[in-house]
A = this chain, B = another copy of it.
Amino acid sequence: MTTTIDGLQYAKWSEKIFRQMRQGKVDAVHVTIAYHENFRETVANIREWNLLFERHADLILHGRTAKDVLLAKETGRTAIFFGSQNPSCMEDDIGLIEVLHTLGLRFMQLTYNNQSLLATGCYEACDPGLTRMGREVITEMNRVGLVVDMSHSAERSTLEAIEHSTRPIVVSHANSASWHPARRNKSDVVLKALGETGGVLGFSTYPHHLADGPACTLEGYCTMIARTIDVMGLQSVAIGTDLCQDQPDSVVEWMRCGRWTKNIDYGEGTASAPGFPDMPSWFHDNRDFQNIAEGLRAVGLRENEVRAVMGENWLRFFETNFGPKA
Q: Does A92 contact B (CB under 8 A)?
A: yes
The reply to whether B259 and A95 contact each other, CB–CB distance below 8 Å, is yes
**Chain B, residue nearest A118 (CB):** B115
CA distance A108 to B15 in the complex (A): 47
CA distance A260 to B93 in the complex (A): 6
Find A115's partner among B126, B131, B136, B260 (CB 8 Å cutoff).
B131
Identify 16 residue pairs between A and B in the complex whose beta-carbon atoms are under 8 Å apart, listed by A's number. A88-B92, A91-B91, A92-B259, A92-B260, A93-B259, A114-B132, A115-B128, A115-B132, A116-B117, A117-B117, A117-B260, A120-B128, A125-B129, A126-B129, A128-B128, A133-B260
**Chain B, residue nearest A131 (CB):** B115
The reply to whether B120 and A117 contact each other, CB–CB distance below 8 Å, is no
Interface residues on A, range: 20 to 34
Q: Does A140 contact B (CB under 8 A)?
A: yes
Q: With a CB–CB cut-off of 8 A, which chain B residues contact A114? A: 117, 131-133
The reply to whether A128 and B125 contact each other, CB–CB distance below 8 Å, is yes
Q: Does A65 contact B (CB under 8 A)?
A: no
CA distance A140 to B261 in the complex (A): 9
CA distance A117 to B259 in the complex (A): 12
CA distance A116 to B124 in the complex (A): 14
* Copies per complex of this chain: 2
CA distance A93 to B136 in the complex (A): 24
**Chain B, residue nearest A260 (CB):** B133
Q: With a CB–CB cut-off of 8 A, which chain B residues contact A127? A: 128
The reply to whether A36 and B132 contact each other, CB–CB distance below 8 Å, is no
Minimal beta-carbon separation of A20 from chain B (angstroms): 34
Q: Does A325 contact B (CB under 8 A)?
A: no
Q: With a CB–CB cut-off of 8 A, which chain B residues contact A125? A: 128-129
The reply to whether B128 and A260 contact each other, CB–CB distance below 8 Å, is no
Q: With a CB–CB cut-off of 8 A, which chain B residues contact A251? A: none
In residues 13-53 of chain A, which contact B (Cβ within 8 Å)? Answer: 36, 38
0/1 interface trace, chain A 129-148, chain B, CB 8 Å (1 if under): 10111101000100000000
Find A263's partner among B38, B120, B136, B259 (CB 8 Å cutoff).
B136
Find A36's partner among B92, B124, B136 (CB 8 Å cutoff).
B92
Minimal beta-carbon separation of A155 from chain B (angstroms): 13
CA distance A262 to B116 in the complex (A): 19
CA distance A123 to B260 in the complex (A): 24
CA distance A133 to B258 in the complex (A): 11
Minimal beta-carbon separation of A81 from chain B (angstroms): 25
The reply to whether A136 and B258 contact each other, CB–CB distance below 8 Å, is no
Q: Does A301 contact B (CB under 8 A)?
A: no
